[in-house]
Amino acid sequence: HIFGGADRYLQEQEGPVTQNILQKIRPELRLDLRTALYQAFIKGERTASRYLHTEHDQQVMRVKLQVGPITEPGFPRNYVEVLFEEQTDKIADSANLTKTVDENATQLISRLEEEVQRTREQLQSTVEEYETSNEELKASNEELQSMNEEMQSTAEELETSKEELQSTNEELVTVNQELKNKIEELNQVNSDLQNLMSSTDIGTLFLDRHLQIKRFTPKIAELFNIISADIGRPFDHLSHKLKIDTLVNDAEYVLKTLSTVECEVQTKDNRWFMAKLLPYRTIKDKIDGVVMTFVDVTRLKQIEKHLQQRVRQQATVADLGQIALAGVELEALMQEATRQIAQALDVEFCKVLELQPENEQFLLKAGVGWKDGYVGQATVENHKNSQAGFTLAANEPVMVADLSQETRFKAPPLLTEHGISSGISVVINGIERPYAVLSAHSKLVRTYSQDDINFIVAVANIIADALERNQADAAIRQSQETIQQQLSEIEAIYATAPVGLAFMDKDLCYVRINERLAEINGLSVAEHLDRTATELFPEMTQLTSPYIDQAIAGERVLDVELHGTTPAQPGVERDWLASYSPLKDEAGRVIGINTVMQEITELKKARQALEASEQRFRRAVQDAPFPILIHAEDGEIVMISRIVSDLTGHTFDEIPTVEAWVNHVYNDSDFRQRVVEGIKKLYDLDHRIDEGEFELTTREGDHRIWHFSSAPLGTDERNRRLVISMASDVTKRKEFEVALQNNQQRLKDLNETLEQRVTKRTEELTRIINDLDQFAYVASHDLKTPLRAIDNLATWISEDATDSLSDTSKDHLEKMRDRVKRMEMLLNDLLDYSRAGREVNDLEEVDTGDLINNILTILTPPEAFTITVSDHMPTLVTSRMLLEMVFRNLIDNAVKHHHRADGRIEISAQESEHSIEFIIKDDGPGIDPNYHERIFQIFQTLQPKDVNGGTGMGLAIVRKIVEAQEGQITIESAPGQGSAFHFTWPKGAN
């Protein structure tokens, strides 16, 4: 709309009709009007130009332009009004004015206008190209998002496809899910599976229907003399190392019956293999030959043999324990022990070397495998140069694998005469000193396991317990006989009695005392007479006075135990058995006291030793590493080992009887009854029996398999017959056997399916990634070309028309160049974002302190800005470029978005077990928690891009790089409280 005579400032030009005011306005007003319209439309500001000269009707007028948005109601928001304010006084006519203008200036202005016009056209073209590029970039972004959605849709279709999931188990679903996010892990799994297939220890041989060799694995060459040239030869032409001659017949049988033949075979070098023959089926289910597989089960055989040996050793220990508890002679027990040890350890020799009283020799007390006449006669010197002497000095088990290579001692003649090469020996301890050395030997060079050592130590402990029991019984019997003899002959042999005897008068003075009591007291007989005990040994009187007072009162005090010291052995604690009897006259008055004193120190020690031996046996049962139940014929369970409760969950109080035990661990009522009947028969046995395997149910409902063996254990104090039942938990062995078979088939199926899936998914994802990389590169390159042209053009305009352009125009050109640079930065950031986490970078040792200092020299923060780096920054092996990019973006953001020129940034690190946590903390304006997640998205900023010059890509690139390194990045911030960015980085190369 035009009103108020504004049309006199417009003029029609030749050419097409236009409504563009910039083309119709008088030339001298055009530049200022263009600038004012830009401020009004773009920034919404109202501006006023300087006074401009223009000619109308041969009059030169001075006009000021006022341009701004229309704020009156009723007008659209994007309308602008242009006011022409004329100066009231008119200037002289144009002819006079024209003379004052320099003709050269007029020509320069004309050329500048033409140049500006051309520049305007080029600028318009540049703007259009910029807009086109921007649209293309948006379209590219949409295509990228679309491709990402297609990839996600493809993955979802893969997960939900019923036809593909019919042949994939739960493990493949997990692998397929991880395949979308961890391509590198999938490649690693693929490599591992390929190596597994190529390095399998299963020997395989493929035969056609005529039993001719088709192909084989390298492992089969260990069993058959076969080379690549043998393909096509008949199978029966091959020689092999197996101890079997029926392979050809078995192969023909498989072809004929289409069944599977499976058996264990042994090689000539004593290895064992599980051989399996089955029909070779093609994809069309056609029988086209035979497949032979040979799995090395030598290790399983060895484990089985080891378990059998352990069971045999445990049974031997239990058997010897029962023999010892039965009270057989010690020498017979040792002879039986050597025999059973030799059988259990599979050795030729076993012996017990008894240490002689003078400690200088050992006597071959018991043994097996030795030459006739050696047992009971042969001796071995007790010095460290012999195995027995060395064992005694070390007081611990000694194992020799090869005597010829032994450096700790030399083989004595007893061993060399019998050609012994290896052995194991332990000490049998007595009550006060070592009693003997128990040894097992073999002519073969061999090593002995820790189970073998524990076994022979257990046997030595049984012999030691039996020895203590015999010595304690002997001591008790001797003491009892001595006491009985003293009591029966006390009056007749008072002077020679082996116990202390004395008589004191009513004043408690010694009237008579025998040598024994005087010896106990440590004084002579004469020194006792006519003196009281209080005078002689006041300390002992404190112990005896209460009993003497009772005797003075007329009471008999018999067999009281006293404990203390006497002058005979000062400082040595001793024990005595004392009796005090009053001697009365005819009137019944006490006239003296008879005293009997017997030393029972050794007897008490023997009794304590017996109790300790029984306690050790109880502890041995309770602490046994395998289940033990001792039960009586009336059904009571006398004792169990703790491991029974540990494995079943039932305490000793919950299973007081055999019936309670059976009801707790067996579910089937008929089976319970059969078990109870079988247990009742055990009490009539006179030897150990192997009961076999039983399946038990624990308190938690778990099922365990125990292998039971039982043996008689004599009778208890109530004359009840006892039985000891021992078990070996074979649950894990059974589970291992089943799991081994299942895993072999499952691994085979997994290998086949996963190999196909991995190959297909890897090819698809590699193609998609390559397409994305190519697209990003081409888009970036094509978009940067027009940007550079715009930047160059703006630079040329600024340089060529610097004198004729107004400050506003110069500002516009500078802003245009800034936006071009920001657009180029955005393209570079987009390219970095697309590549982040996928490029493989060189690894090197990086000092993070030096790295950050280098970054600070590049960023050049304000002079008043303070950036503090911790003195304890770590050094790690990683990609320098990726870590530098993370630090540079975070530090640059902290500086760029800070609201003060004297801001402060602190950089520190905290080390954990597998990673380093870096913290970049500032005292800036802070960020509202509502925007903590938003700032890590692309193109997201909290301030206008014109304010800080950012692209909104920095934190998105940081998060992508950190997460690609399997780290995390978080922020702690609130408005007015600064911000702290935390990110973790792996210690080692990733």
Mean pLDDT of 104-126: 62
pLDDT of residue 99: 46
- Give the burial string for 808-824 (b: 16+ CB within 10 Å, else e): bbeebbeebbebbeebb
Mean pLDDT of 218-246: 84
Q: Is 383 exposed, middle or buried (0-12, 13-18, 19+ CB in 10 A)?
A: middle
φ, ψ of residue 41 in degrees (nearest 5): -75, -40
Q: Return the minimum-mean-pLDDT range out of 169-183, 337-351, 471-485, 857-871.
A: 169-183
Q: Which two tokens stand for residue 284?
A: 């069309």
Rounded percentage of the chain residues whose pLDDT exceeds 70: 82
Q: Write down the mean pLDDT value for the chain.
A: 80
Q: Mind listing the pLDDT tens digit for each residue in 597-610?
A: 877 777 777 777 77
Q: Residue 244: pLDDT above 80?
A: yes
Taking CA atoms, 698 is separated from 137, 264, 631, 666, in Å, by: 69, 35, 20, 9
pLDDT of residue 367: 93
CA angle 562, 567, 569 (to 5 degrees): 80
Does the pTM surpass 0.85? The reply is: no
Q: Mind listing the pLDDT tens digit for each residue in 618-655?
A: 787 778 888 888 889 888 988 888 888 888 888 888 88
Q: Residue 69: pLDDT above 70?
A: yes
Mean pLDDT of 271-286: 86
Q: Return the minimum-mean-pLDDT range out of 151-155, 180-184, 475-479, 714-718.
A: 180-184
* More confident of the two residues 806 and 443: 443
Q: Mind listing the pLDDT tens digit for each residue in 943-959?
A: 655 555 555 667 888 88
- Give the burial string for 438-477 (b: 16+ CB within 10 Å, else e): bbbbbeeebebeeebbebbbbbbbbbbbbbbbebbeebee
Q: Is 378 exposed, middle or buried (0-12, 13-18, 19+ CB in 10 A)?
A: buried
Strand partners, 16: none
pLDDT of residue 10: 84
Q: Mind listing the pLDDT tens digit for each residue in 456-470?
A: 888 888 888 888 888
Q: Mind listing the pLDDT tens digit for each residue in 731-742?
A: 888 888 888 788
Long-range own/partner contacts, residues 110-113 (CB < 8 A, 24 or more apart): 112/801, 112/804, 113/27, 113/30
Domains contained in the chain, CATH given = 6-101 (3.30.450), 111-175+748-835 (no CATH), 200-296 (3.30.450.20), 327-462 (3.30.450.40), 490-607 (3.30.450.20), 623-729 (3.30.450.20), 838-986 (3.30.565.10)
Strand partners, 69: 80
pLDDT bin (cut points 50, 70, 90) of residue 971 is very high
Decide if 868 contacts 905 (C-beta within 8 A).
yes
Give rounded-to-5 percent helix, strand, coil for the chain.
Answer: 50, 25, 30
Q: Residue 977: pLDDT above 90?
A: no
pLDDT bin (cut points 50, 70, 90) of residue 348 is very high
pLDDT of residue 889: 85
pLDDT of residue 97: 44
Mean pLDDT of 158-178: 63
pLDDT bin (cut points 50, 70, 90) of residue 494 is low
Q: Mind listing the pLDDT tens digit for each residue in 540-572?
A: 777 788 888 888 888 888 888 888 777 777 777
Q: Return the minimum-mean-pLDDT range out of 64-73, 487-496, 626-635, 809-818.
A: 487-496
Q: Which 3-state string (H, E, C) describes 353-396?
A: EEECCCCCEEEEEEEECCCCCCCCCCEEECCCCCHHHHHHHHCC
Which residues, in sequence order, are CB contacts of 112 under 8 Å at separation 6+?
801, 804
Decide if 865 contacts 895 (C-beta within 8 A).
yes
pLDDT of residue 526: 83
